[in-house]
Amino acid sequence: MTTPRRILLALAGLMGAAGVALAAAGAHLGGDNLATAATFLLIHAAAVAGLASGAPNLRGLTLAASLLALGALLFSGDIAARAFLGGKLFPMAAPAGGIILMAGWLALAVAAALGSGARKKGERNDLDSG
């Protein structure tokens, strides 16, 4: 496994843990915004982990996973900062995170549509028939 994918897996684990923590905080402290941040982190942690570990080796998957991780961290981090710190991470952090999330999902769609793998000669993946 490449170093970028290992880093993405570690980020996915941290995102999942943060999502659970924010869900618990939201349940005890109240606040729909914390629940939203928790949901975004948990959903995108699973997507990043899947792309980084189990997906076929298509070009663009590391980029897609990176964009999803960055976008989820910005979006959820800004919401959490507002709830716990009383202020934003920085101006437009949540909207920037949302736009980056959309770019990540679109990067995944493009990678799947183009289907150009970076496989070694003779190497097969689960999508190969026969």
Mean pLDDT of 33-48: 94
Mean pLDDT of 51-66: 81
Q: What is the pLDDT of residue 129?
A: 37
pTM of the model: 0.81
Report the length, in residues, of the chain.
130
Contact between 68 and 101 (Cβ < 8 Å)? yes
Q: What is the pLDDT of residue 91?
A: 95
Positive or negative torsion for Cα 102, 18, 62, 112: negative
The per-residue pLDDT for range 67-89, each reduced to its tens digit, is: 999 999 999 999 999 999 999 99
The domains of the chain are located at 3-114
Q: What span, in angstroms and rounded, lies between the C-alpha atoms of 94 and 69? A: 13
Mean pLDDT of 90-114: 93
